[in-house]
Chains A and B, each alone.
Chain A
C-alpha cells in the first residue's frame, strides 16, 4: 500500500474523537519546525523546549478553540508565538518587541529578484546565513521563519503574529532582501 500523507484536517478530526495516534502524528509533524521557530526567535534552546512543551499542552487542552480544522498549523504556531511574546515580556518588561512603530505597511510586490527561501544553499553558507537571520529584528525574523518553515501565507503570518497584513509584507520584504544581498555576495 503506498504511503499517503494524511492531512492535518483529517488528523484534527480524529484527534477531536480522542484518537491518540492522530494526536501523536499531528504533534510529531510540527514539533521540529515549532522548536526551530521558537529557538530561532528567542536564541535560547532551553526556553524553546519549554515553549514547545507549553504549546503542546495548550493545544491538547484547548483543541475546542480551533475553529477551522484545516488551520491547525497556524493555530499551533499562533500559540507558540504568543508564548514567545509572553517570555519576552517577562524578561524585558519595558520592551514590546513586536511593536510595529517603525514599520509602515508596505504594498511592495516581492518580485525584485529570486526568492532566497527557494534557493538551494551550500552547507558552507549555512553558518553565515544563520548569523544573518539571527541579526534580523525579531519581527522580521519571525515573519521569515514562519514563511520558510511552514510556508505560511502572508495572511496566516499576520494571524499568527497578530499584525496587520501590510506590516507582515514589509517585514518579509526586508528579511528577504537581506538574505538576497548575502546570497549575491557569495555568488
Chain B
C-alpha cells in the first residue's frame, strides 16, 4: 500500500506513542481547585489532629448536656419586693449613698 511521505515518517515513529502519552499526561496543567479539593487539602494532611479535635468537641457536648448549664437553674431567686424595700430603708437610715433617682 502506497503512503505519503508524511504517513511514512509518522508510521516510523509510531512506536513512541505510549511514551508520548505518558509525557502528555504528565505535562497537563493541574485542575483548578474545586470546593471538594479545597476541603481535602485542608483536612487530609492533619487527619489525626482533626479527629482528636472532633472527639474533644463531642466529649464537651456530651458533658454539657449531661450536667446541665448553670444558667437559670443555678441563679439565686430574686428577693421579694418587701425585703428589697426593707433593705432600701436600712440603707437610707445609715446614710449610705444609694442613688435612687436617676435624672436624665
Residues of A bordering B, CB below 8 Å: 18, 20, 23-24, 27-28, 31-33, 35-36, 39-40, 45, 48-49, 52-53, 56-57, 59-60, 116-123, 126, 129-130, 145, 148-149, 179
Q: Are B8 and A126 in contact (CB under 8 A)?
A: yes
Further 4 A-B residue pairs, CB within 8 A, beyond A31-B20, A36-B9? A31-B21, A32-B13, A49-B23, A122-B2
Min C-beta distance of B84 to chain A, whole Å: 72
Chain A-chain B contacts (Cβ-Cβ < 8 Å), number = 92
In the complex, B19 has a CB within 8 A of chain A: yes
Cα A120 to Cα B6 in complex, Å, equals: 10
Residue from the list B2, B25, B27, B28 in contact with A121, Cβ < 8 A: B2
B3 beta carbon closer than 8 Å to chain A: yes
Q: Digit string of B1-43 for contact with A (CB within 8 Å is 1, else 0)?
A: 1111110111011101101110111111101100000000000
B23 CB, nearest partner CB in chain A, Å = 5
Q: Are A121's CB and B24's CB within 8 A?
A: no
Q: Can you report 12 A-B residue pairs in the complex whose CB atoms are below 8 A from each other? A: A20-B29, A32-B20, A36-B9, A36-B13, A49-B20, A119-B4, A121-B3, A121-B4, A129-B8, A130-B9, A145-B9, A148-B9
In the complex, the answer to whether B1 meets A123 with C-beta atoms within 8 Å is yes
Contact B13 A35 (CB under 8 A): yes
- Which residues in B have their C-beta under 8 angstroms from that of A56? 23-24, 27
How many angstroms between the C-alpha atoms of A122 and B8 in the bound complex?
Answer: 9
| B24 CB to nearest A CB, Å | 5
